[in-house]
């Protein structure tokens, strides 16, 4: 399992992750979001909606793993995106993903 997936589970348990498209869009708009992770196999519509919103609010985003990997890391079913709401976690995620 990729290290960022372990970190995602940790961030989720720490209460620093929001899930669900509506919640993620709300966090981007309210500037709570520090990073948006999107499953590489999310639907084109979902990808476009989230990336467009991220771009207009200057929130970084990354395409990561599959919906199965993200769901397993969160211990949730069928999740295609997660929003990180913490600068510290975001820094670590970007180190792990971008290396």
Extract the residue ranges of the chain whose pLDDT is less than 70: 1
Q: Please give the pLDDT value at position 14.
A: 97
Q: Please give the pLDDT value at position 1.
A: 58
| Tally of structural domains, the chain | 1
- Calpha distance 18→29 (Å, rounded): 13
Q: 41: how many CB neighbours lie within 10 A of its CB?
A: 14
Q: What are phi and psi of 51, to 5 degrees?
A: -70, -40
Assign residue 40 the CATH number of its domain.
Answer: 3.30.1330.30
* Domain range for 70: 3-98
Q: Please give the pLDDT value at position 2.
A: 86
Q: Please give the pLDDT value at position 31.
A: 96
């Amino acid at each position: 399992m990729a290290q960022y997936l372990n970190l995602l589970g940790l961030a989720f348990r720490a209460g620093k992750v929001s899930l669900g498209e509506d919640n993620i869009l709300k966090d981007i708009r309210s500037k709570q979001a520090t990073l948006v992770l999107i499953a590489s196999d999310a639907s084109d519509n979902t990808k476009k909606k989230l990336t467009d919103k991220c771009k207009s609010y200057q929130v970084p985003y990354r395409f990561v793993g599959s919906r199965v990997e993200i769901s397993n890391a969160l211990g949730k079913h069928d999740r295609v995106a997660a929003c990180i709401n913490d600068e510290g976690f975001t820094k670590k995620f970007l180190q792990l993903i971008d290396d």
